[in-house]
Amino acid sequence: MRIAVDAMGGDQAPEVVIQGALQAASEWGYEIILVGREDAIEAGLIGSSGRTLIHVHHCSETILMGESPVKAVRRKKDSSIRVAFGLVKRGEADAVVSAGNSGAVLTAAVQALGRIKGVDRPAFVGIFPGVRGDVILIDVGANVDCRPAQLFQFGVMAHSFALSCMNMKDPEIGLLSIGQEGGKGNEQVRQAHDLFMGSHLRFAGNVEGRDILSGRFQIIVCDGFVGNVVLKLVEGMAETLYPLLNDAIGDRTEGGGSLEWLKKKLDYSEYGGAPILGVRGVGIVCHGGSSAKAIKNGIRTAAEYVRKDLPNRLASHIDLFRGAPGKQVHAAV
């Protein structure tokens, strides 16, 4: 297993990325290709043990967080993000992990690997801990504005992902809106609701924000603008509520520290990053502020989806936008 890691992506790159790569190589035996400026990477590797599984692939350019994704990927041909996906395209790596500019990661993935046949827009998937098990939220930032058919397509892709990679049986899908009634929401949500109702997916109707972590729905569909807000809200709640709850319970329990399990469950670094669904390869987008632990787990997640043959299993489960939505999904499931 060979994972290409964008060494220049993230708020604390390359140091934190290098440490995460070293930890992943040491713990799981993955070969890691660190893609970026060779001098910066080698400086970060000085004195490190376990370098036998670490390779350095030099490139001279870096795409910054504030740059226009499409323009930057087109203009910076020797950028770490673009070069990393080029390695996958040529069969020199099995997947890409990056904490860099998420729009550039998506653009480079589509440009280098292409979309799965029938997919209009690839999407980012967020995985949250729910009361009754994990919850899949799609999209969490790839597509700010979406047509109804694209929201429906996200549901189809997430359904396939749930079956292929999450061991979910007959997952229930909810469409995020401002009310449970089918007529609630903006025009895009209302039309998407009708598409889901006419399909063979197990669609439970609209879901409100309060139900996201309830576990009533295994898959929740929304556009990337709303999904990214939800993602950041959950992250912020975890960071804010954990110390408050821990202090309160610690005052009443001998020794304190009784909520470490909750902290771990809500810590995004445990999940590593968000997979890109809809491209013909495996790519993981990590949080820009990722720690070494998050990078390490992003690499683990990438390797897991490579082993599960995620792109091909998605392609084999879904046959999108060929005829009516109901027929598409009926063929897929």
| Residue 257 clears pLDDT 70, i.e. is over it | no
Residue 243: pLDDT band by 50, 70, 90 thresholds?
confident
What confidence tens digit (pLDDT) does each residue in 109-120 have?
A: 999 999 999 899
How many other CB atoms are there within 10 angstroms of residue 117's CB atom?
12
Compute the distance between CA of residue 50 and CA of residue 211 in angstroms, rounded to an integer: 45
Residue 296: pLDDT band by 50, 70, 90 thresholds?
very high
Domain ranges of the chain: 2-113, 123-226+259-264+315-332
**Do 2-113 and 123-226+259-264+315-332 agree at the fold level?**
yes
Contacts of 162 (CB under 8 A, 6+ apart): 136, 168, 171, 218, 219
Structure tokens at 249: 């319970």
State the amino acid at position 119 in one-letter form.
Answer: V
Q: How many residues does the chain have?
A: 333
What confidence tens digit (pLDDT) does each residue in 166-208 have?
A: 989 889 999 999 988 878 878 899 999 999 999 889 999 999 9
Residue 49: pLDDT band by 50, 70, 90 thresholds?
confident
Residue 321: pLDDT band by 50, 70, 90 thresholds?
very low
Structure tokens at 98: 């990056």
Record the pTM. 0.88
CATH number of 123-226+259-264+315-332, picked from 3.40.50.720, 3.50.50.60, 3.40.190.10, 3.40.718.10 = 3.40.718.10
| Residue 91 clears pLDDT 80, i.e. is over it | yes
Structure tokens at 135: 């919850």
Structure tokens at 16: 């934190």
| Residue 248 clears pLDDT 80, i.e. is over it | no
Residue 326 parent element (H or E): helix 325-332
Res 266: pLDDT? 64
Q: Which residue has the higher pLDDT, 240 or 210?
A: 210
Contacts of 193 (CB under 8 A, 6+ apart): 175, 177, 182, 185, 205, 206
Among the listed residues 58, 61, 30, 28, the one whose alpha carbon sits nearest the alpha carbon of residue 42? 58
Q: CATH says 2-113 is which class?
A: alpha beta
Residue 317: pLDDT band by 50, 70, 90 thresholds?
confident
Compute the distance between CA of residue 201 and CA of residue 317 in angstroms, rounded to an integer: 13
Res 264: pLDDT? 64
**DSSP string covering 260-311:** HHHHHHH-GGGT--EEEESBSSEEEEPPTT--HHHHHHHHHHHHHHHHTTHH
Contact by Cβ (8 Å): 30, 24:
yes
Compute the distance between CA of residue 311 and CA of residue 333 in angstroms, rounded to an integer: 16
Averaged pLDDT for residues 76-94: 98
**DSSP string covering 8-27:** T-STTTTHHHHHHHHHHHHH
Averaged pLDDT for residues 47-52: 84
Question: Which range is least confidently modeled, 78-82, 138-142, 199-203?
Answer: 199-203
Residue 324: pLDDT band by 50, 70, 90 thresholds?
very low
First to last CA, the chain: 30
Among the listed residues 48, 58, 54, 57, the one whose alpha carbon sits nearest the alpha carbon of residue 24? 54
